[in-house]
Structure 1
Amino acid sequence: MAKNVREMLNDFVNGIGEMRETNEAAVDAFMGLLGASYEPGAIDLKTKELISVAIGCYNRCEYCIVYHSYKAFEAGATPEEVRETAMVAVAFGGGPSMAYSVTLLKDCINEFQNDFQ
């Protein structure tokens, strides 16, 4: 059964906000690290988000897959680029990475690919 990836995305983003209410310094420090890491430099933002999709698939982190697939599309990635990125993760992570790539990531592609066209 397909997961509601848009609901998962919203739960994740809202959860960060709720956690910040009682842990402002720690959440802000984490978000500062993310912000600095995703600044375009020698590698552009789209590539960094695609790398994040691959790492999410490799680590089988559902919220990472959902969030970073959304952000990859926001940064201009195509469905083909997201799928190809996932296959790099599969090359390292084998069957478990394939399972997340052909289920959860597929649902993300179907849900988010038209949001930024």
Structure 2
Amino acid sequence: MGKNPREMLNEFMGGLQVVSKSNGEQVGAFMNLLGAAYKPNAVDVKTKELISVGIAAYNRCEYCIVFHVYKALEAGATPEEIMEAAMVAVAFGGGPSMAYTVTLVKDSIEEFRKDFNK
């Protein structure tokens, strides 16, 4: 395992808290946008999180990958569904998306699945 997904998730969440002390308006606006985007509507939260995993793998955003793999598992996605969503990103992103899928997406699933008994 290269990077530790749990440490990355904790670093991201802790960073949000620290930065919100000095830039609370901007962090709050971003969090409100997320809340609106992930509110279940025509598309459920699990599906939105699977879409997010694919986008994160395509964009090679490491913190996005660990966050959305965690949230996808939390929303009820299976490891197989998460990996399949990431593989869709590979169809668009080629080798770089494959590299992140077979490393950080895989490692994040392995790390967080035990939190949700998957």
Alignment match, 1:92: 92
1:111 & 1:57 partners in 2: Cα distance?
A: 17
Gaps of 5+ in 2: none
Alignment match, 1:107: 107
- Identity among equivalent positions (%) equals 68
TM-score w.r.t. the length of structure 1 is: 0.98
Deviation at 1:107, TM superposition (A): 0.5
Alignment match, 1:57: 57
The number of residue pairs the alignment matches comes to 117
Gaps of 5+ in 1: none
Alignment match, 1:34: 34
Alignment match, 2:66: 66
Q: Which runs of 4+ in 1 moved over 6 A?
A: none
1:114 & 1:84 partners in 2: Cα distance?
A: 19
TM-score w.r.t. the length of structure 2 is: 0.97
Alignment match, 1:21: 21
What letter matches 1:63 in structure 2?
Y
1:2 & 1:99 partners in 2: Cα distance?
A: 12
Deviation at 1:113, TM superposition (A): 1.1
Deviation at 1:97, TM superposition (A): 0.2
Alignment match, 1:8: 8
